[in-house]
Structure 1
Amino acid sequence: MSLTDQLMTDLKSAMKSHDKTALSVIRMLKSALMNKKIELGHDLNAEEENQVVVSQMKQQKDSLAEFEKADRGDLVADAKEQIKVLSQYMPQQLSETEVQQIVQQTADKVGATSKADFGKLMKAVMSQVKGKADGTLVNRMVKDLLQ
């Protein structure tokens, strides 16, 4: 089942159960997918759909961080609920161990040994784990490796 079909099924289910948070998140995600489809001018493939979901998750996590910084408990709770719903549509994420292995293998492959190679290594690793691992996790592991 494609992501769009899954969203339609879940949208109907959320409407029947009067789940306002799920309804809001699903509508937001459907809208983001439609905007990307219009931007690209063609139907989205699975990878492009996953990129949209990852992008939406990143936005929600950034919002959560800002709400926490501003000490807005009411908005923090809402953002956490939205992240919980959105996480159902995220592509399967790599474990920290798997990411660590990829970072190490890529560092060996590109010859990254010092902090000066940070950008080169990040670019190489992110191209391999795009959508499968959080960028902040990769960033932390690359920094730890290049110390």
Structure 2
Amino acid sequence: MSLKDQITEDMKNAMRAKDSERLGTIRLLLAAAKQKEVDERVVLDDAAVIGIVDKLIKQRKDSVAAYTLANRMDLADKESAEILVLQAYLPQRLSAEEVSTAVQAIVAHLGAKGPGDMGKVMAAVKAQLAGKADMAMVSQAVKTALAG
């Protein structure tokens, strides 16, 4: 069963359970996936769906930070709950050590040296680790590898 089919099935289960918070988040995810399919005229594979989930989680994290600064804990809690629902659709993430090892291997393979090669390295790393690691952690690992 594809990830998209699993999400659709979870939406049906949330409807049956009358779990409105979970249902709303899943519908939002499916709407984002459908929008991408319509805009690009493609059928999304699991990797593309994971990319959408990553993007939605990043948006929620940014919102939580903004709501916390504005002292709106009610909205921050709602966004945090949505993050938990969305994280269920992500594969097991790589640890910081695994990300660092992978980044160092790619830097060595490309022969990259210094911050000027950051774009080249990030492109290669993103192709290899997309959906498997938090890209903020990956970016930090690339900066560290190129600085040393």
The answer, yes or no, to whether TM exceeds 0.5 is yes
Shift of 1:133: 1.3
1:48-78 alpha-carbon deviations (Å, 9 max, x no partner):
2222222222222222222223222111111
Q: Could you say what secondary structure the match of 2:131 adopts?
A: coil
Q: Where in structure 2 are there 5+ consecutive unaligned residues? A: none
Which residue does the alignment assign to 2:68?
Answer: 68
1:15-50 alpha-carbon deviations (Å, 9 max, x no partner):
222222101101001111111111121322222222
Paired AA for residue 123 in structure 2: K
Output aligned runs, 1:45-84, within 5 Å.
45-84=45-84
Paired AA for residue 94 in structure 1: L
Cα distance in 2 between the residues matched to 1:97 and 1:61: 23
Q: Could you say what secondary structure the match of 1:131 adopts?
A: coil
Shift of 1:92: 2.9
The percent of aligned pairs where both chains have the same amino acid is: 39
Cα distance in 2 between the residues matched to 1:70 and 1:112: 42
TM-score, reference length from structure 1: 0.89
Aligned residues: 147
Q: Could you say what secondary structure the match of 1:146 adopts?
A: helix
Cα distance in 2 between the residues matched to 1:124 and 1:69: 35
Which residue does the alignment assign to 2:92?
Answer: 92
Shift of 1:98: 1.4
Question: Is the contact between residue 4 and residue 46 of structure 2 (CA under 8 Å) also seen in structure 1?
Answer: no
Which residue does the alignment assign to 1:128?
Answer: 128
Cα distance in 1 between the residues matched to 2:100 and 2:113: 15
Shift of 1:144: 1.9
TM-score, reference length from structure 2: 0.89
Which residue does the alignment assign to 1:118?
Answer: 118
Shift of 1:82: 0.4
Q: Where in structure 1 are there 5+ consecutive unaligned residues? A: none
